Copies of this chain bind each other. A is one copy, B any other.
């Protein structure tokens, strides 16, 4: 099994883009970025579909459903025009966020790391080779809690598209086979409480299911 297809076990980093969908930028009263920005989540935060997400005491946990891009080979200073060659596939993911912790550290100018990095804070679907996906910028991303839609967006609404994200990140830090790039979340983020049942689906515009992801909190 390649490092890319076994990225959950063998990958080294998760690079997560912030504020990449305008409606989500607005719902958190943020301003739209002029260039992409990102943070790291530890791979120790991965949890496979079906396993529980643990919400630590005192944490207000928010869901952010996102398209994950699995890197297929090592590269630095990758040009947008070449970015496609560095993609092995995709996976559905949730960037769980301790929103109260994040709000506090943002005010103090401190790192986002703890707010984003708790164990089980990156529920992850299955590796889907890129050959299965015609257009990664034309996919529906949805998330339901206890059967009710909370997020239902399209990757067509990304502010910065995947090749631009790969170019930007790799101009700062090398991307390596098995790294996961989280591409930002559409609007509708909100709390996941202990006892909630969460279901996410990634589909084509025609409704064909590409990846699914479920967890209980």
Q: Is A156 an interface residue (CB 8 A)?
A: no
Q: Is A119 an interface residue (CB 8 A)?
A: yes
Could you say which of B38, B76, B114 contacts A119, with CB atoms under 8 Å apart? Answer: B76
- Cβ contact within 8 Å between A111 and B114: no
- Cβ contact within 8 Å between A42 and B13: yes
Number of A residues near B (Cβ < 8 Å) is 30
Instruction: Report Cα–Cα, A114/B17, bound state, in Å.
Output: 12
Q: Which of A105, A112, A118, A176 has the most CB of B within 10 A?
A: A112
Interface residues of A (CB under 8 A from B): 12-13, 18, 37-40, 42-45, 56, 76, 105-107, 109-114, 117-119, 172-176
- Cβ contact within 8 Å between B37 and A40: no
Instruction: Report Cα–Cα, A40/B119, bound state, in Å.
Output: 14
Task: Chain B residues near A112: list those with CB within 8 A.
Answer: 111-113
Instruction: Report Cα–Cα, A111/B186, bound state, in Å.
Output: 20
- Cβ contact within 8 Å between B172 and A39: no
A-B contact pairs, 28 of them (CB 8 A): A12-B13, A12-B42, A13-B42, A13-B43, A13-B44, A18-B110, A37-B111, A37-B114, A38-B114, A39-B111, A39-B113, A40-B111, A40-B113, A40-B117, A44-B175, A44-B176, A45-B173, A56-B172, A105-B109, A106-B109, A106-B110, A111-B111, A111-B112, A111-B113, A112-B113, A117-B172, A118-B172, A119-B173
Task: Chain B residues near A39: list those with CB within 8 A.
Answer: 111, 113
A25 nearest CB across to chain B (Å): 13
- Cβ contact within 8 Å between A172 and B106: no
- Cβ contact within 8 Å between A42 and B44: no
Instruction: Report Cα–Cα, A44/B175, bound state, in Å.
Output: 8
A36 nearest CB across to chain B (Å): 10
